[in-house]
Amino acid sequence: QVQLAESGGGLVQAGGSLRLSCAASGRTFSLYARAWFRQAPGKEREFVAAISWSGGSTGYADSVKGRFTISRDNAKNTVYLQMNSLKPEDTAVYYCAASPTFSSGWSLKSERYDYWGQGTQVTVSS
């Protein structure tokens, strides 16, 4: 079975930083697009960032552009999300996702991803 496991969440003050990791097991994910989504209480899951299988193409939600950076290490089957200048509105459960290669490199639509992690809580205090 394919499994994704997020880690690195926690409680930080506004302006602080966190680095999330998502490790894959069960198979190699080197040819899979990878992405991060988040869901705040009472809200729909929303796109945060994505990266193509080669790492050559990335995309970000406008709300995190310039503050968050997505990267991947295919040798470790791991994707990262560096989160800087955190704001209270970034508080959410963050989910890692993966899917076979998209023609465009990656997708911002959650329904197009085949595999998901269990989520990790990020809480930013004001």
Q: Give the tens place of pLDDT for each residue, 101-116.
A: 777 889 999 999 999 9
Residue 9: band (very low, low, confident or very high) from pLDDT cuts 50, 70, 90: very high
Q: Is the pLDDT of residue 1 over 70?
A: no
Question: In the prediction, which pLDDT does 109 show?
Answer: 94
The predicted-structure confidence for 53-102, as pLDDT tens digits, reads as follows 888 899 999 999 999 999 999 888 899 999 999 999 999 999 999 998 77
| Residues 21 and 10: beta-carbon distance below 8 Å | no
**Helix, strand, coil content of the chain in percent (nearest 5):** 5, 50, 45
- pLDDT mean over 37-54: 95
Model confidence at 120, pLDDT cuts 50, 70, 90, reads very high
CA distance 122 to 106: 24
Rg (CA), the chain: 13
Query: What is the Cα–Cα distance from 12 to 20, expressed in whole angstroms?
Result: 13
